[in-house]
């Protein structure tokens, strides 16, 4: 699609339609002689400011030093100079920087602020008479400066001053500032800084224990009625468990993390993989096998296709298994992908899960920067990721980013309809993850600068109290334990009763397993605050991963360390403890299982089971065997007595896994009465990014007529994977009838539409009057204006 310039007259109309102010009425405060004050530091000094403490040496900063030390942020300052609290002394300095007083001459003011979100790192606007603080602003744990707007209408004629305060050392213990100006009209900024949450005095949580022997730890835990917990394994048999998976025999493959928090020199890693087996089903492992040692900074593991998939930055590796009662490696690890970053060693590739589509999924944190590709791939052909969710196909050996954003996610799982959910830290804790989605980030910018807005949390609550996430650590018992989460499981199966479908996640500072209750709304969900599944009542307990096992048992690995935060200093971490728990409903018994010995027909039946563990493992084994799709289609439908069943959906997943979803099968699925079956048929049709004309015609039909919001969402997602000249026949009917209140759909439509607007301004101008969602009208106009002005 050729780039087309817009006529000047049309450009003017577009600019007039943009729904935000460019805030051109920048009026600098002046002294009594009318000389502009040094409130933007363009004199290259602190002239007019009074400094105390040791935080302001060699300030102001000239130029964007942020961009030179990290790739995910920019200073965003105005002019040449700004106050960069970290750039000289890091987070070690404290003090105040106070401006001269000046008269308020306009009804509005604004300034740029960034840095830490602590109450102790802030910018205050203060009255000269009385010293009253009339405005406070903080950063959002980002170096990127954002505009804070001040209402000064009641202060015109009075004198004020600015006080930049840094009273904190350590993590994000600094403040950034620049460019105080007045405005004659209320300004509107796209990058407006959020108002700080009110502070309050928080009382420390009272936790019964701070370290217990393994047998006492089980007794101390509180569980809901109907559940029981056993110590599956503990130190010295397991130490520092960081990741685990469960194989087709129900054995646990657990990574012991001895190398963390610093990657060792090549060949000197001390991590290892241990296989635990509970042969008699009593909830305690009797057999322990060391599978492999001397691995380096391992953070993710999964089994399948004859081997073990291991994430050990900078590598994603595959280790073949010589299976049997005592598994051992059948060869050396093979590097499948390299370029994974480990700048922040608790945000590396992690939490591997097999998806309904046959791909291997994983998470990636925001402060680690990766450029991923097969060994030897040039940088220009690699895929960047620094916050988000990725997937890798085990037989096609394709890698791609599934969605981007959030923070240090260390937990994902799929619900009964294949909807992906993820937990996060520091920022709000729960997200519904859609293919191609862009989500709220803890820091940094999206790779596409024209994103303009991103999808927010689905949670209607938070798990911490107080003004900022870190400030609630150890003080958030009433809200759920704290801001940091790891491990996520959505239990599925009849044995879980009312707990089936809830979203379970480990709470690091709260020594518990939180539960959110998802409620369907529009294209997505609302996550309501549910009762905790477990409170361990032990400050040392830190569950970092959760899995469903055979017979609906839940398994959890516990890092078990009184130090509850990441630190690059090895001496602050405990290296002699570790726990694995099994939780199940009272009275249920675990039978011995080995799905690999099942026939193809039996596996096909298991692949449509309501039990998530059974279904996922059976589907993957069918994929490994590449069985004839007819065996899956021959599984008799269950007698549901008129009740809705997911069997047709699960059958579609299994058929796709064995390459059995051709155009004919997908066309039939697109006409299914099940909305999730239609939705997944859309995703499968766009899997290879080359959708046949017949299927594209079906997409257009669904975009016009299908009443399901889920189907509309999947169409918007799939449109991102199509060539630009094939998108509008799908997007136009969706834009004409999309629900403006559904933030998922509006933004997913924008992510698919944005490059179309950028490529063809004339077509976009024709489209603009047909769009009835104000947010998208703004975005289209902004994108057209940015393209036309070049």
478: exposed, middle or buried (Cβ count in 10 Å: 0-12, 13-18, 19+): exposed
User: Cα separation of 660 and 34, whole Å?
Assistant: 77
Same domain, 13 and 34: no
Counted domains in the chain: 3
With CA atoms as reference, report the closest residue to 752 among 706, 703, 680, 708: 703
Same domain, 59 and 8: no
Both structure tokens of 19: 């729904």
Q: Cβ distance 673 to 654 under 8 Å? A: no
Same domain, 409 and 438: yes
Same domain, 239 and 310: yes
Q: Cβ distance 753 to 770 under 8 Å? A: no
> Of 570, 585, 600, which residue is a domain's last?
585
**Domain presence at residue 385:** yes
What would the DSSP string read from start to end of 420-431? EEEE-SSS-SEE
Same domain, 392 and 521: yes
User: What is the CA angle 656-657-658, rounded to 5?
Assistant: 90
Q: Cβ distance 452 to 486 under 8 Å? A: no
**Domain presence at residue 392:** yes
The domain spanning residue 773 has which CATH number?
1.25.10
Specify the pLDDT at position 271: 98
Same domain, 157 and 170: yes
**Domain presence at residue 51:** yes
**Domain presence at residue 620:** no
Angle, helices 728-737 vs 709-719, to 10°: value is: 140
With CA atoms as reference, report the closest residue to 354 among 386, 325, 387, 395: 395
Same domain, 441 and 312: yes
Same domain, 50 and 156: yes
Task: Return the exposure string of 9-27: e unless at least 16 CB atoms fall within 10 Å of the residue's CB, then b.
Answer: eebeebeeebeeeebeeee
Specify the pLDDT at position 18: 41
Mean pLDDT for each consecutive 10-residue tract of the chain (790 residues)? 48 44 72 94 96 95 89 87 95 94 96 91 94 92 92 96 93 94 90 70 89 96 95 98 97 98 96 96 94 98 98 98 92 97 96 98 96 97 97 97 97 98 96 98 91 95 86 90 97 92 98 98 96 97 97 94 90 95 82 89 95 96 96 82 73 96 96 97 94 97 97 98 96 92 94 95 86 91 78
Specify the pLDDT at position 763: 83
Same domain, 287 and 152: no
Specify the pLDDT at position 788: 64
**Domain presence at residue 193:** no
Cis peptide before 546 (omega within 30 of 0): no
**Domain presence at residue 610:** no
Q: How far is CA 66 from CA 98, 148, 773, in A?
A: 24, 20, 36
Same domain, 346 and 486: yes
Q: Cβ distance 338 to 383 under 8 Å? A: no
Continuous H helices in 612-674: 612-625, 629-633, 647-657, 663-669
User: Cα separation of 505 and 484, whole Å?
Assistant: 10
The domain spanning residue 358 has which CATH number?
2.120.10.30
**Domain presence at residue 467:** yes
Same domain, 277 and 344: yes
**Domain presence at residue 371:** yes
> Of 165, 183, 201, which residue is a domain's last?
183
pTM: 0.82
The domain spanning residue 84 has which CATH number?
2.60.120.260
Continuous H helices in 459-526: none
Specify the pLDDT at position 17: 43
> Of 183, 202, 230, which residue is a domain's last?
183
3-class DSSP assignment, residue 218 = helix
DSSP 77: -
Same domain, 153 and 281: no
| Domain range enclosing 154 | 23-183
């Amino acid at each position: 699609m050729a780039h087309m310039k817009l006529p000047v007259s049309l450009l003017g109309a577009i600019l007039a339609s943009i729904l935000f102010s460019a805030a051109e009425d920048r009026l600098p405060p002046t002294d009594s002689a009318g000389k502009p004050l040094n409130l933007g530091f363009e004199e290259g000094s602190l002239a007019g400011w009074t400094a105390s403490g040791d935080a302001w040496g060699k300030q102001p900063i000239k130029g964007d030093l942020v961009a030179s030390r990290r790739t995910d942020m920019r200073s965003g300052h105005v002019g040449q100079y700004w106050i960069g609290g970290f750039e000289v002394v890091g987070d070690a300095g404290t003090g105040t920087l106070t401006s001269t007083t000046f008269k308020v001459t306009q009804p509005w003011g604004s300034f740029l602020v960034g840095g830490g979100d602590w109450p102790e790192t802030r910018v205050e606007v203060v009255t000269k008479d009385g010293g009253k603080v009339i405005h406070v602003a903080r950063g959002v744990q980002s170096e990127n400066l954002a505009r804070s707007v001040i209402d000064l209408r009641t202060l015109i004629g009075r004198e004020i001053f600015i006080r930049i305060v840094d009273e904190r050392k350590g993590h994000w213990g600094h403040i950034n500032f620049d460019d105080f100006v007045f405005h004659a009209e209320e300004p509107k900024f796209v990058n407006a800084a959020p108002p700080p949450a009110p502070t309050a005095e928080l009382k420390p949580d009272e936790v019964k224990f701070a370290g217990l022997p393994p047998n006492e730890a089980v007794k101390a835990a509180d569980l809901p009625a109907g559940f029981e917990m056993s110590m599956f394994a503990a130190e010295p048999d397991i130490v520092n468990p960081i990741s685990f998976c469960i194989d087709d025999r129900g054995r646990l493959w657990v990574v012991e993390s001895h190398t963390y928090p610093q990657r060792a020199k090549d060949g000197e890693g001390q991590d290892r993989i241990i296989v635990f087996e509970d042969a008699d089903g009593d909830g305690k492992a009797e057999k322990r096998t060391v599978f492999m040692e001397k691995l380096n900074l391992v953070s993710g593991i999964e089994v399948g296709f004859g081997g073990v998939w291991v994430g050990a930055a900078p590598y994603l590796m595959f280790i073949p298994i010589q299976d049997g009662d005592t598994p051992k490696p059948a060869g050396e690890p093979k590097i499948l992908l390299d370029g994974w970053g480990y700048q922040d060693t608790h945000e590396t590739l992690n939490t591997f899960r097999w998806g309904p589509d046959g791909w291997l999924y994983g998470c990636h944190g925001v402060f680690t920067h990766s450029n991923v590709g097969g060994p030897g791939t040039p940088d220009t052909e690699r895929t960047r990721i620094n916050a988000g969710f990725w997937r890798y196909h085990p037989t096609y050996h394709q890698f791609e980013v599934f969605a981007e954003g959030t923070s240090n996610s260390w937990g994902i799982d799929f619900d009964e309809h294949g909807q992906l959910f993820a937990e996060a830290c520091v920022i709000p804790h729960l997200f519904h993850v859609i293919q191609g989605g862009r989500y709220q980030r803890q820091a940094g910018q999206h790779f596409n600068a024209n994103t303009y807005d991103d999808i927010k949390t689905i949670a209607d609550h938070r798990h911490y109290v107080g003004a900022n996430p870190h400030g609630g650590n150890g003080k958030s018992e009433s809200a759920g334990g704290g801001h940091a989460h790891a491990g996520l499981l959505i239990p599925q199966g009849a044995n879980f009763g009312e707990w089936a479908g809830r979203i379970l996640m480990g709470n690091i500072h709260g020594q518990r397993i939180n539960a959110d209750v998802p409620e369907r709304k529009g294209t997505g969900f609302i996550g309501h605050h549910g009762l905790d599944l477990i409170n361990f009542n032990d400050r040392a307990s830190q569950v970092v991963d959760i899995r469903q096992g055979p017979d609906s048992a839940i398994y959890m690995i516990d890092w078990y360390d009184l130090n509850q935060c990441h630190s690059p200093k090895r001496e602050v971490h405990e290296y002699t403890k570790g726990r694995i728990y099994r939780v199940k409903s009272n009275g249920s018994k675990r039978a011995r299982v080995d799905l690999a010995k099942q026939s193809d027909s039996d596996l096909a039946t298991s692949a449509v089971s309501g039990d998530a563990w059974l279904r996922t493992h059976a589907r993957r084994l069918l994929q490994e065997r590449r069985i004839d799709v007819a065996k899956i289609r021959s599984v008799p439908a269950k007698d549901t007595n008129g009740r809705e069943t997911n069997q047709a959906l699960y059958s579609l997943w299994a058929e796709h896994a064995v390459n059995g979803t051709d155009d004919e099968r997908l066309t039939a699925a697109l006409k299914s009465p099940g909305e999730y079956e239609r939705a997944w048929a859309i995703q499968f049709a766009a899997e290879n990014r080359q959708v046949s004309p017949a299927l594209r015609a079906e997409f257009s039909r669904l975009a016009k007529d299908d009443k399901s919001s889920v189907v509309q969402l999947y169409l918007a997602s799939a449109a991102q994977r199509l060539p630009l000249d094939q998108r509008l026949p799908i997007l136009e009917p969706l834009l004409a009838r999309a629900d403006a209140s559904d933030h998922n759909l509006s933004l997913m439509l924008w992510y698919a539409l944005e490059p179309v607007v950028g490529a063809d301004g004339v077509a976009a101008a024709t489209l603009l009057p047909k769009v009835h969602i104000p947010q998208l009208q703004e975005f289209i106009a902004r994108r057209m204006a940015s393209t036309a002005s070049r």
